[in-house]
Chain A
Amino acid sequence: MMEDELARFDKSINEFGNKFRNTFSDTRCQMVGLRDVFKDSIEALAEICRQNKLIQEKKDALLKLITEVKDKKQEMEVLTAKIQDLKEEYSRKKETISNANKANKESLKRLQKSADLYKDRLGLEIRKIYGNKLQFIFTSIDPKHPERPFMFSLHLNEARDYEVSDSAPHLECLAEFQENVRKTNNFSAFIANVRKAFTAMVYN
């Protein structure tokens, strides 16, 4: 009986021994395999880490861009409104200027026409010259040379009196006329007398 038991025991020990040895060598391969899989797992996690970093970068970049786009849209609105306002303003201004200019030109045309009539018909040109002076130029005085000019200058001095100067040709009585016009303030007579004096010069 004991022999059987021992024999059985021996058998079971051997069986376990074999099984353990086999499993041991299998397990070794398994462990190596497991280690490889662990390595893969770590690499995958590292990849995910990298990805996450990349994702965050791109998200940040996207947010920044979106903000910029929003700002630009706003700027566009502001600019568009400003441009519209300016266009309207300038359009109005342009019209105002155009109207004023038109009115001015018409006035000037009328005034010029009037002055020309006087100038041509009276044979007298009035010019503004330096020193705030007025220059009076008579023509149609000399019958032989009607275009020959007879001129003198006039201005108001500090005392607000009429003052004559630069007559060409020289007129003796001009000083006397100056006194008369200062006394009487009769500008019309003054000019008429000057013309008369110039005319008299020619006939003498």
Chain B
Amino acid sequence: MAAFRDIEEVSQGLLSLLSANRAEAQQRRLLGRHEQILERLLETQDGAEQRLQETLATEEEVAQSLLHSKERSCQGNAELQQLEAELQRAAEDDAHLQASLLQLTGELEELRELEADLERQERDVDEDTTVVIPSAVYVAQLYHRMSKIEWDYESEPGVIKGIHYGPSVAQPIHLDSTQLSQKFISDYLWSLVDTEWQPGAS
């Protein structure tokens, strides 16, 4: 702004000089100043022009940058939405699988109970095999040993049929249990058994 005031002053000075008829030297000096001022004016014009250009360039840059950023922001949103959708899908899958796993775990649990049950049954069968049956066999053999009688299991009901294996002879047995008393039958059967203390026979 000071430059313009100078310029105005110089102008005034020049104009008054022209009307007053002063020395040539003064005129030359003033013309010299005039030239300087012109130069400064031109420089200032150029400078101003440059600033303007720079400002315009910056404006464009910033506008581009903002546009670019908005674009990226938009893309970012789209990506976020997509991720959200994928997350939801994955979460659903996860929940679904969790439920299935729970069901399977339940099944496994039931199978464990079944296993325990089967083990119990196995133990029962083992007991029958190792204890109950041998015991029953022992008793049956004992009866056989002491009576020396073998029954006919196919005989008709009400008929007692069998064989008594004596020391020398096998005697058949045939009794009608419907006609005879229990005591008679017992006495008769025991009568077949030898009371002699023969050694070795057991």
| B18 located at the interface, meaning its Cβ lies under 8 Å from any Cβ of chain A in the complex | yes
What is the CB-to-nearest-CB distance from A154 to chain B, in angstroms, rounded to a whole number?
10
Residues of B within 8 A of A183 (CB): 197, 199
Is the Cβ of B80 less than 8 Å from the Cβ of A122? no
Is the Cβ of A10 less than 8 Å from the Cβ of B11? yes
| A47 located at the interface, meaning its Cβ lies under 8 Å from any Cβ of chain B in the complex | yes
Is the Cβ of A6 less than 8 Å from the Cβ of B186? no
Q: Which of A133-166 contact B (CB under 8 A)?
A: 134, 139-141, 143, 146
Is the Cβ of A65 less than 8 Å from the Cβ of B133? no
Question: Interface size class for chain A?
Answer: 35 or more
The 8 A CB mask of A70-98 against B (1 = contact, 0 = none) is: 00110110011011001100100110010
Q: Of A2, A61, A112, A126, which is within 8 A of B87 by CB? A: A61
Residues of B within 8 A of A117 (CB): 151, 153
With contacts A62-B83, A100-B129, A113-B153 known, is A83 near B94, CB below 8 A?
no
Label chain A's interface by main secondary structure: helix
Name which residue of chain A comes closest to B184, CB basis. Answer: A140
Is the Cβ of A79 less than 8 Å from the Cβ of B101? yes
Residues of B within 8 A of A40 (CB): 66
Is the Cβ of B73 less than 8 Å from the Cβ of A47? yes
Name which residue of chain A comes closest to B183, CB basis. Answer: A140
Residues of A within 8 A of B200 (CB): 184-186
Residues of B within 8 A of A196 (CB): 190, 195
With contacts A48-B73, A184-B200 known, is A122 near B189, CB below 8 A?
yes
What is the CB-to-nearest-CB distance from A159 to chain B, in angstroms, rounded to a whole number?
18
Bound: A122/B132 CA distance, A: 23
| B170 located at the interface, meaning its Cβ lies under 8 Å from any Cβ of chain A in the complex | no
What is the CB-to-nearest-CB distance from B125 to chain A, in angstroms, rounded to a whole number?
5
Name which residue of chain B comes closest to A65, CB basis. Answer: B90
| A108 located at the interface, meaning its Cβ lies under 8 Å from any Cβ of chain B in the complex | yes
Residues of B within 8 A of A181 (CB): 197
Name which residue of chain A comes closest to B34, CB basis. Answer: A9
The 8 A CB mask of A91-131 against B (1 = contact, 0 = none) is: 00110010011001101100111110111111110101000
Q: List 23 A-B contacts (CB under 8 A).
A: A6-B11, A16-B41, A16-B44, A23-B52, A27-B51, A41-B65, A47-B69, A51-B77, A62-B90, A66-B90, A73-B97, A86-B108, A101-B125, A104-B125, A105-B128, A115-B136, A118-B147, A128-B139, A181-B197, A188-B146, A188-B193, A192-B194, A196-B190
Q: A37-B63, A79-B108, A83-B107 are in contact. List 16 more A-B contacts (CB 8 A).
A: A9-B38, A16-B44, A30-B59, A62-B83, A80-B104, A86-B115, A87-B111, A108-B128, A111-B137, A114-B140, A115-B136, A185-B202, A186-B200, A187-B146, A189-B197, A196-B195
